[in-house]
Structure 1
């Protein structure tokens, strides 16, 4: 018998429970608003406590210094991890592009959102599945493990075995997430403004609209199933990759049922012989380039957990297509021109291509345009060489960070790129970190030219 709440599940054929961190997700708008209100109250309490401590020391701190103390930053991160959904996603979006302009306490709190382990208790999971499949849904399963394999901002993934079918991975959406997206984003933005967490010149408006649009897409699991199908068409019979193909008859807007891929974490590639590791890393990089420049179907979440390795057949396994973006042919052409200009062109070529993509316009100051072209030139350095680029230990990330800090803090330019570019940055930086983790050296100029011309 399935019981609700956090009561342990007996070790039966239907399910088994491992003690971990359960948290009942607030499902109604009122409950989520109350959670945000308690967060605001907690931050205010932190202000009073910190203010008293500072005054006792003879200091006269500013309000913004009191609002974003390390303790308040931890409160913010903890409450967002409990709410999941839109508030958590907005925090991730801000940290994705803005780590260099945020206070370090807030950057650390937002970065930790990716690793929080709160998940729904059995009762909530069972209710979502009953709404999707009917009251007796469990009769179709020989096994269903209620403790999730993974928990993210929109839903969590469970391991299960159909009674007369394959082993499956089932993504279950947190109740109330879809209905609260717009209000959660607006409430979170208000909180960030009140705490003065962002520099005054940092325009949050474009991120708000993008967070809402992206979240509405990610909360539609039928749309994600379509992304997987489209991606499978592009891959064709390429033997290097595996996808978690969906079971359409068991997929709804809130429940996504896929074939289970039982691979190893992608980081395990680091233990393989260098030749094999280099080939697999090349396959990953070529795939990312094909997504952006050839197909225009881009899985934009480069979290390491979204890539796995199957040692039985040597294939790379690709997971989680909720954050997939589709790039139009004209935009792909502009990106292709930008890449080729970065590899082989002059600074003038690069400036024209960057303007076409949308990094800046003719109305922007010349000094800003020239400075940003230099930033793009630094980013392109590894692909301008004919020798393999060694990712691990390179000073490129530090020099990129210093150039952006110069641009944003000293030159006072903190424009947020258009959303499509923002997610492209996310893809590229994720690939860079993965290549550095795998300790490979790759001929980037050769790989980029061959992939883009294909």
Structure 2
């Protein structure tokens, strides 16, 4: 079993369905059962009043999505990761209850028993290499595509983390994607006529990236090199001799969750310092480097509390979800942000149309609704003396109080109460993953209860976005 953050234990999965046929059968059986339940639910709804029908629909879709999430969690691998991605895209076309349940696939995943993953380790590294390590057979962290075990190198006692890919994950991607697309149709969770092929194409591409541990090792080194001079951050060192296409071994870096009492009990100034660093990291990744770690899961962003404020560190883990953004996209997105700050709606719309987020054919009401939402989102970065833009959420020094803000909910209401929701469907894939990380930044600063004025840092990043080549990324 593996420990959870709340101290409870998670039961290990003792066997994985790794063959495409058996995975397909398991999912198809789930879909057939769900289809029958949906038919019965639809018939029952005929006899319900409008109010009870709405309540029944919500409860029904929540149950259906929970069943789907539970089964995906048992199967692990690409089909579970695809479920995670659907929770991101799904906000644009799935019932709200389904999105909430599918989003639970992001974390709290049961590990796989040691006897299932040990053969992968032995085949990848060989017995002689393995004899150099003492490996804890209980996973310290588990995800959809692999899990991490703590280890110690015998010759010098160095503490390591060994990430092991689940067997059969890469081979099952194509079959899993096909089966999951059929499953969504059978469960009738998606609107009729909606073409999900672009969504599944993106999920497929993302999955192949995340099972490429050699590429992940390259991104880990890239981040380590770029942050080498910034003592606020820690990036693990890749240990090449214990790594392979299915194994990624790094140095162990002590850390704790943002929710840990050691972090939450820090004074305001120290939490502000950490929040400011986290915000600047995102600005660097997108506007300057064009290289964004797009998975904002709290497990990937940890903390190390020091004796003094200057000793506090943000520990960055898991770069498998790193995405590269092109210069044109960055510049056009910068136009959206700059226009929002200046309340120049024409500039906002030029940028949005250029990246395919909006269309000139949309009615003016939809375009104005989109611009209004953008203006709301940049509230934390407005001038501190602008009382019309979050003035009540600023402390006496003008810093934005992230923990007191309900900005994400207010932005959602703006979209929901305008024509935007009718016209703004599934956005370009770059937007989905960028906004996934951006939402994670907002949530992290709120969880830290940081009071940070990020305006100057954002303006500097926007300036650099038009001046520097984005990345020059090498692996």
TM-score scaled by structure 2? 0.84
| Helix, strand or coil at the partner of 2:357 | coil
1:393 to 1:198, Cα distance in 2 relative to 1, 3 A: farther
Q: Which of 132, 140, 147 is 2:138 aligned to? A: 147
Q: Give the CA deviation at 1:134.
A: 1.8
Alignment check: 8 A CA contact 1:92 1:111 kept: yes
Q: Which moved more, 1:93-102 or 1:204-213?
A: 93-102
**What is the aligned partner in structure 2 of residue 347 from structure 1?**
345
Structure-2 separation of matches of 1:374 and 1:308: 34
2:73 is aligned, of 72, 76, 81, to 81
Helix, strand or coil at the partner of 2:323 = strand
What pairs with 1:51-450 in structure 2 (closer than 5 Å)? 68-99=60-91, 101-141=93-133, 143-165=134-156, 166-200=158-192, 202-268=194-260, 269-312=263-306, 313-386=311-384, 387-407=398-418, 412-450=422-460
- CA contact under 8 A between 2:109 and 2:144: conserved in structure 1? no
The structure-2 alpha-carbon separation of the partners of 1:47 and 1:369, relative to structure 1 and needing over 3 Å to count, comes to closer
Give the C-alpha shift of residue 22 in structure 1: 2.4
Q: Contact between 1:51 and 1:66, CA under 8 Å: does it hold in 2?
A: no
Contact 1:379 1:396 (C-alpha < 8 Å) held by counterparts? yes
Q: 1:403 to 1:132 in 2, by over 3 A?
A: same
- Quote how far apart the aligned CAs of 1:27 are: 1.3
- Between 1:329-338 and 1:217-226, the stretch displaced more is 329-338
* RMSD between aligned residues: 2.9
Displacement after TM superposition at 1:170 (Å) = 0.9
Segment drifting more, 39-48 vs 178-187? 39-48
1:123-147 Cα offsets, whole Å, 9 max, x none, are 1111110110124553111x21122
In the TM superposition, what is the alpha-carbon distance from 1:405 to its structure 2 partner?
Answer: 2.5
Secondary structure of 1:94's aligned partner = helix
Residues 216-243 of structure 1 show CA distances to partners (whole Å, capped at 9, x for unaligned) of 0000000000111111222232111110
Q: Per the alignment, do residues 369 and 49 of structure 1 end up closer, same or farther by CA in structure 2, a change over 3 Å counting? A: closer
Structure 1: how far apart are the matches of 2:351 and 2:189?
34
CA change 1:282–1:411 in 2 (3 A) is closer
Match of 2:29 among 10, 32, 38: 38
Partner in structure 2 of residue 14 of structure 1: none
Partner of 1:99: helix, strand, or coil? Answer: helix
Is the 2:376–2:411 Cα contact (8 Å) retained in structure 1? yes
Tell me whether 113-122 or 426-435 shows the greater mean CA deviation: 113-122
Which runs of 5 or more residues in structure 2 are unaligned? 3-8, 385-397, 465-475
TM-score normalized by the length of structure 1: 0.88
Between the aligned partners of 1:213 and 1:327, the Cα distance in structure 2 is 15
Q: Which SS does the other structure have where 2:131 is aligned?
A: helix
Map Cα deviations across residues 31-58 of structure 1 (whole Å, 9 max, x no partner).
2112212312432454477579779999
Residue 311 of structure 1 deviates from its aligned partner by 2.1
Give how far 1:66 is off: 11
- Helix, strand or coil for the counterpart of 1:172? strand
Q: 1:333 to 1:53 in 2, by over 3 A?
A: closer
Aligned length: 436
Alpha-carbon spacing, 1:44–1:226, altered in 2? closer, same or farther (3 Å): same
Aligned to 1:11: none
What SS is found at the alignment partner of 2:138?
Answer: coil
Secondary structure of the corresponding residue to residue 337 of structure 1: helix
1:13 alignment counterpart: none
CA contact (8 A) 2:356 2:428 kept: yes
Note the C-alpha offset of 1:115.
Answer: 2.7
Paired residues of 1:87 and 1:184 also in contact (CA < 8 A): yes
- SS of residue in 2 equivalent to 1:157: strand
1:103 positional shift? 2.2
CA drift of 1:205 comes to 2.2
Shift of 1:280: 1.0
In structure 1, the residue matched to 2:5 is none
Query: Which has the larger displacement, 93-102 or 78-87?
Result: 93-102
**Separation of aligned partners in 2, 1:168 and 1:320:** 14
CA distances 1:332-354 after superposition (whole Å, capped 9, x unpaired) = 22233332222225111211122
Indicate if the aligned counterparts of 1:218 and 1:224 stay in contact, CA closer than 8 A. yes
Instruction: For 2:43 and 2:339, locate their aligned partners in 1 and report how far apart those are by CA, in whole Å.
Output: 57
In 2, Cα distance between equivalents of 1:244 and 1:233: 11
